[in-house]
Amino acid sequence: ADDPFGPLIQMAEAASLGMPFEVWKTRMGRQRTESTTQAFANIYKDGGVKAFWRGTQAKMFESATKGAILMYAKEGINDSLLAAGWQPGMAGVMAGAGGGIAQVSVMGPCTYLVTGAVNDPGKSMAERIRTTYARGGVAGFYPGGVAIAFRQATNWASRQGFTEVVRAQAKRTLHGDENAKLSKWEEVGCGITGGTLASWNHPFEVARIEAQSRGNAGQPVGNMVSVMRDIVREGGVGGLFRGIIPRIGLGIWQTLFMVTGAKMVKETLKEQGLISDVKGGH
């Protein structure tokens, strides 16, 4: 039942506020001496409002494909585990990890192209694809692949898991009943809290941005550990957390669409009798 909604929800997330947060975070992950406000101002200075949507073509392709993969895998795993008697928080963690890992195959090339568009905006998308393929073949699109895998597994495990734990706590605290139905605004609040807590894994994201920026520039990339070591040597441990503010904004925005939004869509369709309920579902 989720197949038609995954791509549409994720494309809407990216095309709206998702892309500006992504561009802002990506710049800070590479230009790590800039403050949060300096990075924002410099993006605008470089290309005006349009600069906040650099790389949108690659992002839309990524969203159309990874959205379907995430929603199908995550919700399917989650419903199955709940039906098998798992606690919602643990089921959410496992479902999120499974869905996140499933996304990596399409995300490598797409995030590589977005990173290039943000940090090296002189080339067209077609030229960047040609140059990269000529330099390293298909493998050339996957620098930072391990960091992406770690980030994605922990991303959705954290967002889904934290949000489910917060929802369960909200039901007990606000309604005194763990089986109570939360209002839409209460669901939104849980999604925002879950998205914020899920930003703990930001060092994987900075390593991914640095590795892909090196790849776009034709420089040696190294492995995830060596990239992280270089970042720390250059700017201390704080360097691994550059761009955390736009990342939190992006995490909240994505969580509202992909966790809270998915739940609302499913429940609305169930209420209208368009899809059947799942035993042990939410």
The pLDDT tens digits for 148-168 are 888 888 877 787 789 899 999
Instruction: Tell me what the mean pLDDT of segment 247-267 comes to.
Output: 77
Q: With residue 231 as reference, give the H or E element that holds it.
A: helix 224-235
Q: What is the structure's pLDDT at 4? A: 61
Question: Is a pLDDT exceeding 70 seen at residue 184?
Answer: yes
Q: What is the structure's pLDDT at 11? A: 85
How many Å apart are CA 254 and CA 152, to the nearest integer? 13
How many Å apart are CA 107 and CA 208, to the nearest integer? 11
How many Å apart are CA 265 and CA 108, to the nearest integer? 29
How many Å apart are CA 22 and CA 28, to the nearest integer? 10
How many Å apart are CA 36 and CA 25, to the nearest integer? 9
Q: What is the structure's pLDDT at 279? A: 40
CB of 108 within 8 A of CB of 142? yes
Q: What percent of the chain has pLDDT over 90?
A: 55
Average pLDDT along the chain: 88
Q: What is the DSSP letter of 280?
A: T
pTM of the complete model? 0.77
Residue ranges of alpha helices (H) inside 84-144 are 88-119, 125-136
